[in-house]
Amino acid sequence: MTALPAISLSGHEQARVHEPCVLLKLGEIVLKGKNRQQFEKLLQNNIRLAAADLGIGLRLWQRDGVIVLSPTLAADSPADGEAAQTAADLIADRMLDVMGVVRVCRAVRVAKQAQAAIDTAAELAGGRPGSFAVRARRRDKRFPVTSAQLAIAIGSRIQRQYGNPVDLRRPDFTVHVEVDQSEVFVYIDGLAGQGGLPVGMSGRGLVLMSGGIDSPVAAYRMMRRGLYCSFLHFSGMPLTGPESVYKAYGLVRQLDRFQRGSRLYVIAFGRAQQRLATSGSGRLQIVAQRRLMLKTAQAMARRARATALVTGDSLGQVASQTLTNIMALDDAVRLPILRPLIGMDKTEIIAEARRISTLELSELPDQDCCSLLMPRQVETRARVADLRKIEARLDADELAEELAASAQEYRPG
Ligand code: ATP
Ligand code: MG
């Protein structure tokens, strides 16, 4: 842990230190004991990546359960000027998408003096409507003013100066003051971050990405559990147009804000679907297609260095997602298939898709490859032995290897 450099200025100058910064509150990562340092490093890396294209220099300090970020500016611009404020706002905005960050707080860093804290708190609260509360914390217990004394001083100052009423139970806004080892942070409210674990902490996965609503949400859920995701899309080409590919591309681009450098692999699947149909798949066509997709994904996983596959299956949502069919899908590959949406209702999935801004794209019309060659009735109790027979007729494992080799790679970020 590196401490911020102590602010060792004369009393007069010290009172003027007033630096915009961003406080990131970390959740589970704090609990991870021995591996903690490695996690912190990964998170710091992800933070830098998320802000890299802003063109703003970034200073980063790791504290107990908190990361402090502040923009570094050209020598001639004032540390608390408009440019620094804007830079800190931009950084804070990016941090809202970094997995592992529980809260993002746009703060002001001031000298370690009660008066500086009180003045800054009043300044930040100025002009805000409604009731308020003050929460003060000392990380440094040697600070001569107790948390309670500080909270009272700030509360009465704001009341006196602006007339806002105090409401400790349901305040409209909360003023936070955190006394640290060598300075004080002051901020109001803060915003909820994504939570979860830093991307990359749980290894790598390959997401089977349709153009639909479910698979982008599934990917998001796994990224939030620390899985770095690559994406694989099957289009119905050449039997369909390229619309579904555009959608998959757009969706991966949207998801790339949660992890940088995402790769999308695209495979034209139409001919393979035709071959399954002519091998007499009948009512098993959909499940047979999904098995072939999974086998192909398994072959691709090597290239993507992935050790798990991810799908947007939700139990019982459509005929191909009955428990029997899901078991028949698991039988097709050796890799584990992660299904983070398995117990979610469609309404819950849609709400999450809206929140992560993938819904609108998913709802655009396209010709999904699954709707090609759709049998009149879909088998809900597929038998593995029957599926294997169909696959033997067209040597499905070799076909999967060929399909994998034909994949086109894109970098939608
Ligand atoms: P989604 O909304 O994700 O398309 P869905 O409700 O339409 O899901 P299915 O069409 O049965 O359900 O697909 C289930 C899962 O299979 C998808 O979530 C996805 O992981 C995978 N999948 C389906 N079609 C494709 C495709 N064309 N390319 C890649 N993966 C696919
Ligand atoms: Mg679909």
Pocket test for ligand 1, best of 206, 208, 217 (most atoms within 8 A of CB): 208
Ligand 2 centre to CA of 369 (Å) is 8
pLDDT at 297 over 80: yes
**Per-residue confidence band for 2, with pLDDT thresholds at 50, 70 and 90:** very low
Contacts (Cβ under 8 Å, ≥6 apart) of 340: 218, 221, 222, 225, 310
What is the C-alpha separation between 261 and 263, in angstroms, rounded?
A: 7
Kindly state whether residue 165 falls inside one of the protein's structural domains.
yes
pLDDT at 16 over 70: no
Domain boundary among 136, 168, 192: 192
Query: What is the model's pLDDT at position 17?
Result: 80
Q: Residue 61 pairs with which residues in a beta bridge?
A: 68
Give percent of the chain above pLDDT 90: 76
Q: Which ligand is nearest to the CA of 300?
A: 1
Domain boundary among 165, 192, 219: 192
Digit-coded pLDDT (tens) for 385-404: 999 999 999 999 999 999 99
Evaluate: CB of 248 within 6 angstroms of ligand 1.
no
CA distances to 22, 95, 133, 238 from 234, in Å: 41, 32, 53, 11
Which pairs from 241-246 meet CB under 8 Å and 24+ separation?
A: 241/367, 243/211, 243/364, 243/365, 243/366, 243/367, 244/210, 244/211, 244/366, 244/367, 244/368, 244/369, 246/366
Kindly state whether residue 380 falls inside one of the protein's structural domains.
yes
Per the structure, the complete domain to which residue 126 belongs is given by 11-192
Domain count, the chain: 2
Kindly state whether residue 2 falls inside one of the protein's structural domains.
no
pLDDT at 343 over 70: yes
**Same-domain status, 237 and 171:** no
Q: Is 160 helix (H, G, I), strand (E, B) or coil?
A: helix
**Per-residue confidence band for 134, with pLDDT thresholds at 50, 70 and 90:** very high
Digit-coded pLDDT (tens) for 298-330: 999 998 899 999 999 999 887 778 999 999 999
CATH number of residue 188's parent domain = 3.30.2130.30
**Rounded CA Rg of the chain:** 27
**Same-domain status, 369 and 399:** yes
Query: What is the 3-state secondary structure of 208-276?
Result: ECCCCCHHHHHHHHHHHECCEEEEEEEECCCCCCCHHHHHHHHHHHHHHHHCCCCCEEEEECHHHHHHH
Where is pLDDT greater, at 283 or 333? 333
Kindly state whether residue 198 falls inside one of the protein's structural domains.
no
Kindly state whether residue 199 falls inside one of the protein's structural domains.
no
**Same-domain status, 168 and 20:** yes
Digit-coded pLDDT (tens) for 230-283: 999 999 999 999 999 999 999 999 999 999 999 999 999 999 999 999 988 888
What is the C-alpha separation between 16 and 34, in angstroms, rounded?
A: 40
**Same-domain status, 226 and 365:** yes
**Same-domain status, 185 and 263:** no
Query: What is the model's pLDDT at position 10?
Result: 45
What is the C-alpha separation between 343 and 260, in angstroms, rounded?
A: 28
Give percent of the chain above pLDDT 70: 93
Evaluate: CB of 366 within 6 angstroms of ligand 1.
no
Digit-coded pLDDT (tens) for 50-108: 999 999 999 999 887 899 999 987 767 777 788 889 999 999 999 999 999 999 999 99
What is the C-alpha separation between 211 and 363, in angstroms, rounded?
A: 8
Evaluate: CB of 311 within 6 angstroms of ligand 1.
yes
Query: What is the model's pLDDT at position 8?
Result: 43
Evaluate: CB of 62 within 6 angstroms of ligand 1.
no
Pocket test for ligand 1, best of 206, 214, 247 (most atoms within 8 A of CB): 214
Evaluate: CB of 210 within 6 angstroms of ligand 1.
yes
Where is pLDDT greater, at 383 or 116? 116
Tokens of 253: 């681009």
Ligand 2 centre to CA of 326 (Å) is 15
What is the C-alpha separation between 202 and 41, in angstroms, rounded?
A: 14
For the chain, percent helix, then strand, then coil, each to nearest 5?
Answer: 45, 20, 35
**Per-residue confidence band for 1, with pLDDT thresholds at 50, 70 and 90:** very low
